[in-house]
Every structure is written in C-alpha cells, then in structure tokens.
Structure 1
C-alpha cells in the first residue's frame, strides 16, 4: 500500500482522464492521494474532485510562483477554506527564487501567512523551497522559537542536507519524489539515506517529475511504486515494507485524513 502525499490531479494531463488515473492508482496499490492546491481560484474545482472519492484529500494554499500582489492569501482566508472536510494541509507554499515569477517580498509574506494558518488550524504546512534554503530555514526557525512548534512537511525534497537537518530538528517530515530515481541524483540519495525512516513520505508531484523508467511521460499516482522501490533499496527494505512505513507516517502527520 502506498500514499501519494502530493499530486495535482486537477492539472492538464490528468484531469481529462481522471477516472482512468484513479483506477490505475488503485491497481498500483495506491490507497490514498492528496491533490495539492496551488492557487485559490482552483480550490473549488479541487474540492469537487475529492468529494466523490473517500481516498482523495486536498490542501489549500498559494504556490510561491503564484503569489503576486493580487494573489497573497490572508491567514484568515486560508483558515476559513481549511474548514472543508477534505482539506488536510496548508499549502503548497514556501519560497522559490529560481524563477522570478513573484517578488521575493510577496513570497515571504505569503509564506508567513500560510504558517499562521497552519498554526491556527493545526494542519501541516506543505513547503516548497528552491534556491531559497537559507531564507526558508531562517523563517521556520524564527517562528518556531517565537511561537513554538507546528506540523510541517518539506515536499519534493531535492536540496541541501541543511534543509533536511532543519526539518528534522523542527519535527517536520520530508517527502521524496521521483527525482530520487534520476541518474544524476547520487547526492540526493546520499542525503536521503541519513533521514530517519519514520520521517519519510513519498509523492509523485504528478503530472511532473515522472520517475525512471517513466521519464518523459506525464507522471501520475500509479507511478509511485518506482519511487518506492528506489527508496526501499536505499534502506535495504522491500517495497511493501517501505510502503507500510511511509503510509503510517502520512497518517501520523495528516491527522485529519482517515485510513
């Protein structure tokens, strides 16, 4: 059994074949999926996708790419939307300085508002970080020191060990995507081997980042066994045990989700 902790089932490439995608996920022993919200204007369509499937949950949030001045969400907005019974997390949010889709100042404000919402709802914050490790670490540590711990997840981990160390220090979980299967990901695999198994989740980030041997194809939840196999090999486990552990971790973190 596997849980895809982060996918975008509402995106082009998946939503047109939604029923088939869900059936293939079931055939691949994917028991649950989380459809991640990246913009508030897609929230309603995402919740509609989840409402007819007991095993599909969602989040509410604004991706750092989409938080221009008109797109910054207040913590109150996020808290209100998070009352939907299928919303189990806040995000995805965070900082991405690789592209200049949104000003840094807007990204930081957006990120902090999501942290406030995560605190108010006690729902895990789902964090995206790219080329912004120091700033992400600083914000997370400062808010924890000032206001105490809160639940969280670094999604699609592919960055430096210092981010993993910070996440573990704060009690966060770390989610691994298909990047772990890439030929040039030796450094990532070395870092992941240092992360305690009880803090790991797995994800597809579908329709992006299809794992080997599905590279070049539209990613989907049914591909997650390939990521699980690579991760299991790193820890000298079989895929079934890896799936059991990461699924248990998922339900420990996302307490609003039901097995």
Structure 2
C-alpha cells in the first residue's frame, strides 16, 4: 500500500470530483493522503475533508507564496493544530523563486511555524525553493528538528542538492519526492534520490500539480503516487513492495498523530 504524504485535494481541480479521486486511490492501493493547508481562509475546507474521510489527514499553515493573506501567529497555529485530524504544521518555508523584493515577512512567517511546531509537538512540512541556505539557517536558529527538541518534519517536494538533503536529515527531517523525480530532465534529483536512505524517504504527489510520468502534464491526484514509488524502486534497484512498505511506515513514524 502507498500513502500520498502531500496533496491539495481541497483545490477546485480535485474537490469537484472527490468520488473519482478516492476511487482511483483505492484502485491503486493508496490507503491514505495528507491534505496540506496553504492559507488560513481555506483551512476549514482542509479540516472538513479530514473530518469527513477517515483516510485523509490534514495540516494547518500558510504557504510562503501567499503574500496577501491573513498572517498566523504561534498561538493561533497551536490552537488550530489541537485536533486529532491535524497531524502537522505547514506547509511553511521559504520561496525566493516566485517573489522578489524584501522577503523578511517570509522568514518571520517561517519562524512562527517552527515555534508553533515546537510548542504543539507536531512535525513541520517545509517548502523551500531557491532559498535553501536561508531555510537551513532558520531551521537551525529556531531549533527545528528532533535533535533540537522539536518535532522534526519533512522537506516536501524535494528538488535541492544532496548536501541540503543531508543537512535536513541531520536535523531529523525526512525527504519527500514528488512526480518531479520521474521526469527525464531530473537527472540531478534522481542522483539525490539514489543516495537518500529509504528509511528517511516519503513519497507524495503535491497534486493537483506535478503529475508523474506517465501522466506528466495532466492534472495530478493522490492515486498517482504509486508511480513515484515505482520509479524510486527502479532507481534504487529495490522491490516495489519494500518501497511501499517503508515509505508507509515512515509516514506513520513521522506523523504520529495519524497512527
């Protein structure tokens, strides 16, 4: 069985056809999915999905790409996370790819999420793009990760270098690979995936985006996470069953509230 450790089934592309989404998950032996929050106004939709469907979990957080949106504080995130279906804080992090100018507000938002994670004991879902140096620096400064007494977490949709992956793993974080790893153009990322131990790996879709081969260019959905697992198995020359079993075990080890 497989688990999609990061998706957005509350987004319109998927929310309007949920019966088909869940049907495809069952067909492809995808037993659970984590629906990840990107802002506070839409958080009630995310939570509702987790409350209505026993195989869906949820997170609470504000994505770094959302500039004009209500800003969370630590107390608010901790209060919202105090729910049995909320298993993580995020997604949070830094993204210098899409936005320019003074991005100190992104860094402060990231710090807020790390502090909330430490306060409530639930792991972080971290997004980083074109900002790995600052991301790791702030993680260290704020004590993110199990070694610092935090709840650790996952570097989701990982596209950074092996050095970044190792630095994150040293702080207790898992590395999650999306459909990007299946792209022919992703040779450097595939080399990273070969080196990341299976015991520290998660798989995800980040749907409705980044559909894996053979669905590249189409709307992604949680049921397609099996193709990420299949590629990882070929890449690492491992039995598919081992990849499925270990990434599922890793999910429940990290997201203890989901177990």
For structure 2, which runs of at least 5 residues remain unmatched after alignment? none
Which deviates more from structure 2 when the two are superposed, residues 94-103 or residues 195-204? 94-103
**TM-score scaled to structure 1, two decimals?**
0.95
**TM-score scaled to structure 2, two decimals?**
0.95
8 Å CA contact 2:89–2:113 kept in 1: the answer is yes
8 Å CA contact 1:66–1:102 kept in 2: the answer is no
- Could you report, residue by residue, the CA deviation over 1:209-251 in whole angstroms, capped at 9, with x for unpaired residues? 0001101110001111111111011221122221100000000
Which deviates more from structure 2 when the two are superposed, residues 109-118 or residues 146-155? 146-155
| 1:91 matched residue in structure 2 | 90
| 1:34 matched residue in structure 2 | 34
Do the aligned partners of residues 47 and 145 (structure 1) sit closer, same or farther apart at CA in structure 2, a change above 3 Å counting?
closer
Matches within 5 A, 1:163-202: 163-202=164-203
Offset, 1:101? 7.0
| 1:208 matched residue in structure 2 | 209
In the alignment, the residues of structure 2 paired with residue 66 and residue 252 of structure 1 have an alpha-carbon distance, to the nearest angstrom, of 30
In the alignment, the residues of structure 2 paired with residue 130 and residue 3 of structure 1 have an alpha-carbon distance, to the nearest angstrom, of 24
8 Å CA contact 1:210–1:219 kept in 2: the answer is yes
For structure 1, which runs of at least 5 residues remain unmatched after alignment? none
Q: How many residues align?
A: 257
In the alignment, the residues of structure 2 paired with residue 29 and residue 240 of structure 1 have an alpha-carbon distance, to the nearest angstrom, of 12
In the alignment, the residues of structure 1 paired with residue 78 and residue 144 of structure 2 have an alpha-carbon distance, to the nearest angstrom, of 22
| 1:136 matched residue in structure 2 | 135
| 2:16 matched residue in structure 1 | 16
Do the aligned partners of residues 221 and 84 (structure 1) sit closer, same or farther apart at CA in structure 2, a change above 3 Å counting?
same
8 Å CA contact 2:57–2:87 kept in 1: the answer is yes
In the alignment, the residues of structure 1 paired with residue 179 and residue 101 of structure 2 have an alpha-carbon distance, to the nearest angstrom, of 26
Do the aligned partners of residues 59 and 145 (structure 1) sit closer, same or farther apart at CA in structure 2, a change above 3 Å counting?
closer
